[in-house]
Amino acid sequence: MRATLEIINRMQADGVIGKYAIGGAVGATFYLEPAATLDVDVFVTLPASPGSKLLSLAPIYDYLKARSFKVEQEHVVIGDWPVQFLPPSNDLEREALTEAVEAEVEGVKTWVMTAEHLVAIALNTARAKDRARILQFLEQDAVNVDKLKLLLQRHGLLPKWKNFEGKYVDKDLNG
Amino acid sequence: MVKSSNNSKQARRKRLASLSFSEKVKILAKLRDRSKAIAASRRRLAEAAEKAARQ
């Protein structure tokens, strides 16, 4: 992972990407016990091309391909990790990027989404693995529920949360 | 018995969660490699079964 993050930081220094934050299962591992995953989700802001309002991942792929990194479907293998670069697709993900916290892996600086943003994004995505991850955050007391609820309210996700709580959250967890 | 097993499982999860990010990332890499090995082994078994069915 060290090599992976060094390259991503280099991409940032070279202006290929702007701010970035690790999300998904690897991001969640910052707060929880490790859970198996095959790739790293890296949310990135992309510098807009002059004269174009469209954001494209092409500069990222061009940069990495020129340095002989292997592209496998939607991933680029950097170091020993397949990395998926994801531009934020809504205000919640944009905010998650802006408010990401600094972390360190083997002496290399990086950024990870906050626990509250990881839970909100998982709630929004709502696949089985996302629901399981939300429960892990709650069970391990790894998320500030008051802060989370404010965030969910801001992004119109409170009804979805109520639904989730009603279906999956044990009363013991609610206190 | 079940309660004690659940408690030790919870304690283990807590211990893992309290490791540094660097240590946890090393575990992630091991889990990833194991998942890949299992997937490759399943593929080999499926291919062998398919080959046997054809013969």
**Amino acid present at B24:** K
Query: Closest residue of A to B39, CA-based?
Result: A38
Q: Measure the CA–CA gap between A120 and A158, rounded to whole angstroms.
A: 10
Return the structure tokens found at A168: 């999956």
Ranges A48-52, A57-61, A85-89, A101-105: which has the least confidence: A48-52
Q: Which residues of B touch A1 (CB under 8 A)?
A: 25-26, 28-29
Average pLDDT, chain B: 88
Measured in residues, chain A has a length of 175
- Higher-scoring residue by pLDDT: A24, B3: A24
Pick from A123, A110, A129: which is nearest to A44 by CA?
A: A110
pLDDT recorded at residue A29: 96
- Half-sphere exposure for A88 (CA within 13 Å, toward CB): 24
Read off the pLDDT of residues B14-40 as tens digits, 9 standing for 90 and up: 899 999 999 999 999 999 999 889 988
> B13 CA to chain A: closest CA distance, Å?
6
Q: DSSP character for A90?
A: S
> A26 CA to chain B: closest CA distance, Å?
8
Any B CB within 8 A of A115 CB: no
Greatest mean pLDDT among A34-38, A41-45, B7-11 lies in: A41-45
Provide the number of CB pairs (under 8 Å) joining chain A to chain B.
Answer: 54
Residue A118 near residue A31, CB atoms below 8 Å: yes
Any B CB within 8 A of A57 CB: no
Q: Measure the CA–CA gap between A12 and A75, rounded to whole angstroms.
A: 18
Q: Which residues contact A146 (CB under 8 A, 6 or more apart)?
A: none
pLDDT recorded at residue A52: 64
Query: Closest residue of B to A32, CA-based?
Result: B17
Any B CB within 8 A of A9 CB: no
What H or E segment, with its residue span, contains residue A76? strand A75-78
Query: Across the interface, do B13 and A31 touch by the CB < 8 Å criterion?
Result: no
Pick from B45, B29, B1: which is nearest to A5 by CA?
A: B29
- The model carries a pTM of 0.88
Query: Across the interface, do B25 and A26 touch by the CB < 8 Å criterion?
Result: yes
Query: Across the interface, do A36 and B31 touch by the CB < 8 Å criterion?
Result: yes
Q: Measure the CA–CA gap between A107 and A117, rounded to whole angstroms.
A: 25
Confidence of residue A174 (pLDDT cuts 50, 70, 90): low
Q: Measure the CA–CA gap between A146 and A80, rounded to whole angstroms.
A: 38
Q: What percent of chain B has pLDDT over 90?
A: 42
Domain map of chain A by residue range? 2-113, 117-174
Instruction: Give the distance, in angstroms, between the CA of residue A124 and the centroid of all CA atoms in the same chain.
Output: 13
The two beta strands, A108-112 and A70-72, are unpaired
pLDDT, mean of residues A60-81:
93
Domain map of chain B by residue range? 20-55
Any B CB within 8 A of A106 CB: yes
**Amino acid present at B55:** Q
Q: Measure the CA–CA gap between A65 and A68, rounded to whole angstroms.
A: 5
Return the structure tokens found at A64: 């990495």
- Higher-scoring residue by pLDDT: A50, A92: A92
pLDDT recorded at residue A173: 59
Confidence of residue A175 (pLDDT cuts 50, 70, 90): very low
Query: The domain A2-113 is classified under which CATH number: 3.30.460.40, 3.40.50.720, 3.40.309.10, 2.30.30.230?
Result: 3.30.460.40
